[in-house]
Amino acid sequence: MEKEAKKNDELHLGEESQQPQEPQELEEFIQIRTNANPDTNKETKAEVKDSEERKMDSSKTFFIALGIFIAILIAIFFIPKFFNQEPLTLSEVHEKNIEAGKDTDTQYVYNSYSFVYYDGLWYTQIYNQISEDTYDVPLHFGPKNLTDIIITGDLNTYFGMLMKNNISNYTYQTYLTFDPNETEMGYIALATGELTQNLARTFGIAFIPACTQEGTGCENVPIITCNSTNAPVVYMKSGEPTVVYASGNCITIQGNGQELVRAVDRFLLKLYNIMI
């Protein structure tokens, strides 16, 4: 009996030892599977990281593009307000010139008059007390370029006669005369145009063209010299030195070539009381 009981106990122990331990084997299986595919985990993590970086790059690109777009809008709507301003009129330029007291190669103030160099000419403004109008006066030379030219003689008598003659009052006829045999007729014409244009515009003075003697181009004009009439006369003459001189009813403006134009501008600025 004892032998059978002992045998039965041994059989039960054998059966218990042969029963499978499922939880431990499953855990070992999962561990083996995990350890058997380490690269798979790494690839998965790398893919997630790469996806996140792509999202960040995409966001950066969006905001950069948005910033550029906003900058373009600002340039379109606001920059033209600063750079496409209406150009100043000549009167406004003169006002700013006087306010700032500029003294440059192209803008300066001389004896309270503004001078502005534009498009090859010097401009100033003259006020006509009779018409109460302000005129833009074009000159080839500004006063700083004319200080060396001397004016001699008594100009008061001549100016008095000159101012009595205007388009509405022909008490005196004013003659502008020249020698038809002059060799520098181009400069005579330029100087004559500068003088007649200025005085006709600012004071309404109309000159009658004349010649000092018979010659080509003088067939239909009077022959006038400083001594042949009591009317005011302007005599354009080539020669040296560059000078303006008055004698009774006659003003002689003298200079060679471009110097003759300088002499005319010097006379005009004296007449306008800008230069002494």
**Length of the chain in terms of residues written:** 276
50/161 same-domain check: no
Question: Percent of the chain having pLDDT more than 90?
Answer: 41
Q: In this structure, is residue 140 part of a structural domain?
A: yes
**Which residue, 85, 118, 153, sits at the end of a domain?**
85
For residues 210 and 176, give the distance between their C-alpha atoms in angstroms, rounded to a whole number.
6
Q: State pLDDT tens for residues 85-122.
A: 556 777 788 888 888 887 889 999 999 999 999 889 99
3-state secondary structure of 162: helix
For residues 81 and 84, give the distance between their C-alpha atoms in angstroms, rounded to a whole number.
6
Q: In this structure, is residue 41 part of a structural domain?
A: yes
Question: Percent of the chain having pLDDT more than 70?
Answer: 66
Q: Taking the C-alpha atoms of 143, 162, 183 and 146 in order, what is their torsion angle to the nearest 10 degrees?
A: -10
More confident residue, 150 or 89: 150
Is the preceding peptide bond at 222 cis, omega within 30 degrees of 0?
no
128/252 same-domain check: yes
The number of folded domains in the chain is 2
**Which residue, 44, 64, 85, sits at the end of a domain?**
85
3-state secondary structure of 257: coil
Q: Which among 226, 233, 253, 225 is positioned nearest to 241, based on CA atoms?
A: 253
* pLDDT value for 210: 96
245/117 same-domain check: yes
* pLDDT value for 11: 45
192 pLDDT more than 70:
yes
Q: In this structure, is residue 181 part of a structural domain?
A: yes
70/126 same-domain check: no
- Confidence category of residue 28, pLDDT binned at 50, 70, 90: low
Q: In this structure, is residue 6 part of a structural domain?
A: no
Mean pLDDT for the chain overall: 78
When mean pLDDT is compared over 31-40, 46-55, 87-96, 129-138, the highest value belongs to 129-138
Q: State pLDDT tens for residues 29-45.
A: 445 455 545 555 555 65
3-state secondary structure of 127: strand
* Structure tokens given for 47: 């893919």
3 pLDDT more than 50:
no
151/266 same-domain check: yes
119/255 same-domain check: yes
109/159 same-domain check: yes
**Which residue, 68, 85, 102, sits at the end of a domain?**
85
**Contact (Cβ atoms closer than 8 angstroms) between residue 231 and residue 172:** yes
**Contact (Cβ atoms closer than 8 angstroms) between residue 102 and residue 142:** no
68 pLDDT more than 90:
no
**Contact (Cβ atoms closer than 8 angstroms) between residue 233 and residue 250:** yes
- Confidence category of residue 14, pLDDT binned at 50, 70, 90: very low
Range of the domain at 54: 27-85
Q: In this structure, is residue 247 part of a structural domain?
A: yes
For residues 84 and 78, give the distance between their C-alpha atoms in angstroms, rounded to a whole number.
10
73/167 same-domain check: no
